């Protein structure tokens, strides 16, 4: 929650007029708690994994001749019932694991210094921080993924993720609950190392999940 009652108070504290983006942020967030703003990520996750994979399904079903040659496994096609089963499983995992984890993890976000205050970060600051987040996540995810492909990790945890041998976008988070928790660490490390604004954190969550869907689209 912002410590200013009016735009004028915010401008006096900053010593300048608010930008258009800052005015929009003030009007939206001034009376909302930081916890409420953080919990937007839950909504983003459900929306992204409910809507974005349809783009790839649309391409596959309606432009099969055009995109078919570019499929990794062009001769394998999942039925609609298999796709629906995958989606239901992912949503169930979100309700039982991801959502509750988001609700209780807010103290860690406050501890590392993710802020909701004014001024808003510049575009370059957002881009540079997101770049760090992607590099850190990619590196740490690689090594965790390698661990999950060792005999114990695969048999006990990771084999669930590979039930879909010809993956689709919906299958990106289709995994054992333990894998969901473990792979949350790489996503959190970047913001922990280079904490930024809540808007940057939102963008990171959204872009990371879109990337996961894209890489699993086949």
Q: Any residues with CB less than 8 A from the CB of 196 and at least 6 apart, and which? A: 114, 115, 121, 125, 126, 129
Q: What is the pLDDT of residues 193-205, one digit of tens each?
A: 999 999 999 999 9
SS3 197: strand
Identify which has the larger pLDDT, 15 or 74: 15
Per cent of the chain over pLDDT 90 is: 55
pLDDT at 166 over 80: no
Give the pLDDT of residue 216: 83
Whole-number pLDDT of residue 35:
93
pLDDT number for residue 211: 92
Could you state, in order of their start, the residue ranges of all structural domains in the chain?
1-32, 34-215
Distance CA 121, CA 36 (A): 20
Neighbours of 37 (CB within 10 A): 19
Please compute the mean of the pLDDT values over residues 14-39 and round it to a whole number: 93
* CA dihedral for 95, 40, 56, 123, sign (positive or negative): negative
Question: What would the mean pLDDT of 45-55 be, rounded to a whole number?
Answer: 87
Half-sphere exposure of 44 (CA within 13 A, CB side): 17
Please say if the pLDDT value at position 94 is more than 80.
Answer: yes
Confidence check: pLDDT of 27 > 80: yes
Residue 156: pLDDT over 90: yes
């Amino acid at each position: 929650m912002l410590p200013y009652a009016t735009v004028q108070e915010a401008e006096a504290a900053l010593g300048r007029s608010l930008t258009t983006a800052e005015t929009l942020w003030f009007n939206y967030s001034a009376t909302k708690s930081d916890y409420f703003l953080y919990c937007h990520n839950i909504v983003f996750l459900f929306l992204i994994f409910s809507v974005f994979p349809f783009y790839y399904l649309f391409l596959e079903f309606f432009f099969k001749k055009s995109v078919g040659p570019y499929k990794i496994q062009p001769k394998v096609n999942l039925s609609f019932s298999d796709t629906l089963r995958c989606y239901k499983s992912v949503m169930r995992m979100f309700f039982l694991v991801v959502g509750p984890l988001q609700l209780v993890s807010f103290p860690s976000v406050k501890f590392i210094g993710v802020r909701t205050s004014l001024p808003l970060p510049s575009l370059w600051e957002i881009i540079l921080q997101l770049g760090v987040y992607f590099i850190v996540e990619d590196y740490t995810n690689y090594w965790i993924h390698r661990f999950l492909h060792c005999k114990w990790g695969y048999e006990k945890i990771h084999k669930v993720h590979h039930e879909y041998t010809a993956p689709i976008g919906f299958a990106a988070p289709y995994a054992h609950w333990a894998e969901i928790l473990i792979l949350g660490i790489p996503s959190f490390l970047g913001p922990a190392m280079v904490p930024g604004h809540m808007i940057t954190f939102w963008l990171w969550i959204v872009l990371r999940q879109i990337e996961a869907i894209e890489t699993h689209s086949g």
